[in-house]
């Protein structure tokens, strides 16, 4: 095989899931504190099946163009400090890697730098852990400047952790000039310093981008439209639903992490009310710690949302566990004080992919959940009506006194509230209205800014 043929040949990969004993699936419905099969609530038990977790890892690897030629779940009793896997498993895996001509092995777990290096030596191929794989995907898909900066920052922080005893051939002394480091600085110290300097610059750039986005968000708050945010596990069909509701052409593909950056479009409800629909990044279990902050930053639209549509893949065998992952991230935002603790009251649960169900399928349902298919359009009219009704139910009564000459404020109230009572005088117009909490906050803010 020539070098050009080798370069054009698809990368053959193996995906290995180390599965510890306590990770084994329990039937939570058969034990106290398991899953409420009516609501799908989890209460402290691991409900994710090894096969489903492996399937997800294979999907992640395939999404960046790897050709998966081998996949396996390897049960482990305890994590080996040197290789994570047992010596017999490593030897068997080496034989499989050679037989299948594997050039990359994905270990669906967090590997220490030592474990990664030892496995690469033992297997004779490149080894990537779950964190490295997800970082590669995020790096490939990030489209906005902030997304690219966040991913580069996460990647550098991951790289910095890999420098500890990673390159023994680089642990050499070198004399240093002033701008390259002090005398006797080792190569690893120099690399770590260069990475740290780059991280500092990236954080500075990110702060500037966030300030700009904050200005945009403040400007959007002045736009008199409520926000409806889509959230859900990756590949649950959020972007397909977004397109079906708005007629937009957002990238929608049967692929994990097809959407990484938030997208917003206008949507008209049956009542004629207009809202802004926001599509967000898909959630995933065991998100690398380096990406947690970046991931939550992309969910700031959720914190501003009047209604949250939690889109679930109802046909997925791990739908309940995926729901738990989504709720866990949102609860983490509450702890970070970036999300209102009352957020569950703004959620409509949307059970997507109903077209993949059979009459024999039994689905854990929550009260008020919507069953839809974003592909066929089944249930979408009812979903639009439910969003409308949720908006109406949340309306509050308020009283305003508007100057006669303030036609803009008067027009705004008539356009975005239900006027119950009106009393005119020579200088003012007194109105009693019903309006959404978000609309009330927007109008109050506009009035305060006008008086400032």
The annotation places the binding site for Mg(2+) at 239, 259
3-state SS of 32-85 is CCCEECCCCEECCCCCCCHHHHHHHHHHHHHCCCCEEEEEEEEEECCCECCCEC
Following DSSP, what letter does each residue of 216-227 receive, concatenated?
Answer: HHHHHHHSS--E
DSSP state of 283: B
Packed helices 130-141 and 145-162: angle between N→C axes, nearest 10 degrees: 150
Q: Give SS3 for 335.
A: helix
Q: Which helix (H) or strand (E) holds 420?
A: strand 418-424
Please choose, from the candidates 49, 25, 11, the residue with its C-alpha nearest in 3D space to the C-alpha of residue 57: 49
Q: Residue 220 class from Cβ within 10 Å (0-12 exposed, 13-18 middle, 19+ buried)?
A: middle
Backbone angles phi, psi at 141, to 5 degrees: -100, -20
- What does DSSP assign to residue 369? P
Q: b vs e for 167-192, b when ≥16 Cβ sit within 10 Å of the residue's Cβ?
A: eeeeeeeeeeeeeebeeeeeebbebe
Which own/partner pairs from 293-297 qualify as long-range (CB within 8 Å, at least 24 positions apart)? 293/150, 294/138, 294/147, 294/150, 294/151, 294/153, 294/154, 295/329, 296/329, 296/332, 296/333, 296/336, 296/338, 297/146, 297/150, 297/210
Strand partners, 308: 229, 347
Can you say which residues are annotated as belonging to the binding site? 232-239, 257-261, 279-282, 352-355
What is the C-alpha to C-alpha distance for residues 380 and 278, in angstroms, rounded to an integer?
17
Which residue ranges are tagged as binding site for GTP? 232-239, 257-261, 279-282, 352-355
Picking from 92, 206, 193, the residue whose alpha carbon sits closest to that of residue 142 is 206
User: What is the residue-wise DSSP string for 88-153?
Assistant: HHHHHHHHHHHHTT-SEEEESSPPPHHHHHHHHHHHTSEEEEHHHHHHHHHHHH--SHHHHHHHHH
Tokens at residue 12, please?
């053959």
Give the C-alpha separation, 36 to 137, whole Å.
34
């Amino acid at each position: 095989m020539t070098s050009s043929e080798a370069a054009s040949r698809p990368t053959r990969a193996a995906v290995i899931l180390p599965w510890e004993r306590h990770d084994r699936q329990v039937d939570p419905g058969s034990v106290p504190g398991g899953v409420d099969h009516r609501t799908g609530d989890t209460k402290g038990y691991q409900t994710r099946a090894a096969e489903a977790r492996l399937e997800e890892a294979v999907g992640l690897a395939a999404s960046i163009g790897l050709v998966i030629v081998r996949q396996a779940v390897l049960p482990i009793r305890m994590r080996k400090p040197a290789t994570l896997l047992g010596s017999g498993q490593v030897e068997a895996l080496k034989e499989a890697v050679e037989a299948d001509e594997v050039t990359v092995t994905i270990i669906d777990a967090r590997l220490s730098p030592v474990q990664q290096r030892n496995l690469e030596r033992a297997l004779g191929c490149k080894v990537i852990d779950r964190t490295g794989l997800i970082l590669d995907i995020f790096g490939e898909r990030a489209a906005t400047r902030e997304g690219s900066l966040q991913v580069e920052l996460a990647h550098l922080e991951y790289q910095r952790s890999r420098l500890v005893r990673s390159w023994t051939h680089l642990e050499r002394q070198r004399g240093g000039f002033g701008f390259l480091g002090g005398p006797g600085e080792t190569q690893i110290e120099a690399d770590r310093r260069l990475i740290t300097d780059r991280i500092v610059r990236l954080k500075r750039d990110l702060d500037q981008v966030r300030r700009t986005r904050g200005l945009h968000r403040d400007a959007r708050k002045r736009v008199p439209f409520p926000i409806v945010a889509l959230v859900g596990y990756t590949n649950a069909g959020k972007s397909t639903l977004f397109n079906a509701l708005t007629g937009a052409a957002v990238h929608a593909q049967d692929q994990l992490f097809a959407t990484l950056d938030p997208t917003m479009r206008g949507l008209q409800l049956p009542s004629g009310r207009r809202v802004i629909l926001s599509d967000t990044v898909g959630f995933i279990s065991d998100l690398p710690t380096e990406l947690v902050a970046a991931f939550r930053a992309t969910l700031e639209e959720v914190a501003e949302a009047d209604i949250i549509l939690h889109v679930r893949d109802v046909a997925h065998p791990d739908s309940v566990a995926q729901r738990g992952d989504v709720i866990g991230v949102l609860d983490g935002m509450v702890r970070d004080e970036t999300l209102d603790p009352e957020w569950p009251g703004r959620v409509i649960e949307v059970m997507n992919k109903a077209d993949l169900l059979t009459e024999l399928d039994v689905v854990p349902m929550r009260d008020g959940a919507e069953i839809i298919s974003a592909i066929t359009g089944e249930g979408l009219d009812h979903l639009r009506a439910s969003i409308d009704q949720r908006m109406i139910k949340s309306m509050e009564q308020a009283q305003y006194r508007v100057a006669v000459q303030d036609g803009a404020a008067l027009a705004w109230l008539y356009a975005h509230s239900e006027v119950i009572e009106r009393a005119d005088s020579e200088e003012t117009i007194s109105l009693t209205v019903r309006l959404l909490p978000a609309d009330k906050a927007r109008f109050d803010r506009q009035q305060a800014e006008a008086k400032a």
